[in-house]
Structure 1
Amino acid sequence: MTTIQLYKDLKQIEWDKTQGKITFCLANISTTLKAKDTVGFVLQEWLKDFMLQVGYQFEEPKNSQSFPDFLLFNQELQIWEFLEIKAFQYEKNPAFDIANFESYCDRLLENPQILNTFYLIFAYKMQENGDILIKEIYLHKIYEIAGRSSYYPLKVQVKRKMIYNIRPNSAFKTNKAFAFQNTHEFIQAIYDTLKLYKGEEKALEWYKILLEKYSTIL
């Protein structure tokens, strides 16, 4: 079983005929949660149970905040695939955090294989009564969901001139051309962003280390 097979299995579900609800029960009082920032985490927990039920071989990091969300064993290639779960409101443009920018840059130097991470993305709609409808599911690599901005070559979240997170584009939702056509263009955008943010010397140092390691997985 592979991540692509997982995606196919999920696409076979008749989502228009089913819906979910997030409830919390304490002291015989049950309440429906309508906070949209909880949906992504709940979907991740649901997916774990789905994979267990279907029979996928997977692991989770010991630290729940660690990358990735799941390690899924590809039985055909006998390798572990990285899988991240994201969610956004279907009626709005995607605005989830792909990854912390600086952490992702550091992680790339430790293991360039994370460029091959799969991002499984749920587009949902929450009704006024708290019912959650899954409107669409996407499976992409990071270069296909990352975007460009008017200032930085890579679309990022900036607060008080500090870069925090890598942010997605909306092309994967609207079926428009991706901002980056391959991982090389995505890496170049990170490098160019680092030049503006950290200076050319630090950016070049990062870039050289990455290329030494990345050449082994081309």
Structure 2
Amino acid sequence: MKLTPGQLYHKLTKEYKIIGEKGSVEFTLKDLTITVKTKDTIGNLIQEWLAAWLNANDVDFFLKPNTQDFPDLNLDLENQDKGLVEIKSFDYDSGANFDVANFMAYRRSIIEFPYRLDSDYLIFGYKMMNGQIEIADVWLKKIWEITGPSGDWPLRCQVKQGDLVNIRPIKWYDNDRTTYKPFKSALEFLEAFQENQYKYGKTRHEKGTALFLDKVKKGYTASTGKSLK
């Protein structure tokens, strides 16, 4: 069964009604079984569970064996440029602070594959207490709908020793209580990305930085038939 990301989200949240459901993780070694109470592996386990759920529901998909490859999930087996889904998860009580993408890797990727700008992010917010995991909420978002500026950067990023490392989300799901709001369009996101490059010492004077936005816009139109607005 072929599903779009939107249809997958509807099936998972409206038909299967995953939001509010609870589960646990157990580990058995010889004759002793424990309930896992640490959160370190929850993201990978949710991704594995999702793959099993897709199989059980006869949904067409391809899951990358290497979690570092983009995208995590492809729902269109006939057209590898479509049905691209990144799977993210976070502790709902602590707030979304996952890595959206590595800044420099995304720069290279979006120039070479501009259609990836249309990729969807399937995001699981979970709560965990005494080994019990509850799915607090699930979202399907575009990259510009979960990112925004910060006090220091036009596009919020993780910074280590002055280096831009990873693009980080803002609190898109609670706009009334946050200072910085998500971008309103793919173009606004790209313009902020470009401003980060101008501000970042390692990319400020590169020839590719000045050409970045125009190259992505032209490549996006050529690969999708749509214009960035």
| TM-score scaled by length of structure 1 | 0.90
> Which position in structure 2 is the counterpart of 1:206?
212
> Which position in structure 2 is the counterpart of 1:40?
43
Q: 1:80: how far off? A: 3.3
Q: Is the 2:5–2:75 Cα contact (8 Å) retained in structure 1?
A: yes
Following TM superposition, the consecutive aligned residue runs of length 4 or more in structure 1 with deviations greater than 6 angstroms are: none
Q: 1:93: how far off? A: 2.1
Q: 1:209: how far off? A: 2.7
Describe the superposition over 1:84-138 as per-residue Cα deviations: whole angstroms up to 9, x where unpaired: 11111112321111011110110001101110111011111001x2010001111
Q: 1:26: how far off? A: 1.8
RMSD between superposed Cα atoms in Å = 2.2
Q: Is the 2:51–2:63 Cα contact (8 Å) retained in structure 1?
A: no
> Which position in structure 1 is the counterpart of 2:191?
188
> Which position in structure 2 is the counterpart of 1:121?
123
Q: Structure 2: which 5+ runs fail to align?
A: none
| TM-score scaled by length of structure 2 | 0.86
Identity percentage of aligned residues: 35
Q: Is the 1:144–1:178 Cα contact (8 Å) retained in structure 2?
A: no
Q: Structure 1: which 5+ runs fail to align?
A: none
What is the identity, as a one-letter code, of the residue corresponding to 2:212? W
What is the identity, as a one-letter code, of the residue corresponding to 1:166? I
In structure 1, what is the Cα distance between the partners aligned to 2:162 and 2:43?
A: 28
Pair 1:189–1:134, CA change in 2 (3 A):
same
Matched position secondary structure for 2:40: helix
Pair 1:41–1:78, CA change in 2 (3 A):
closer
Q: 1:81 aligns with which of 76, 80, 83?
A: 83
Deviates more, 1:83-92 or 1:133-142: 83-92
Structure richer in helix, relative to its length? 1
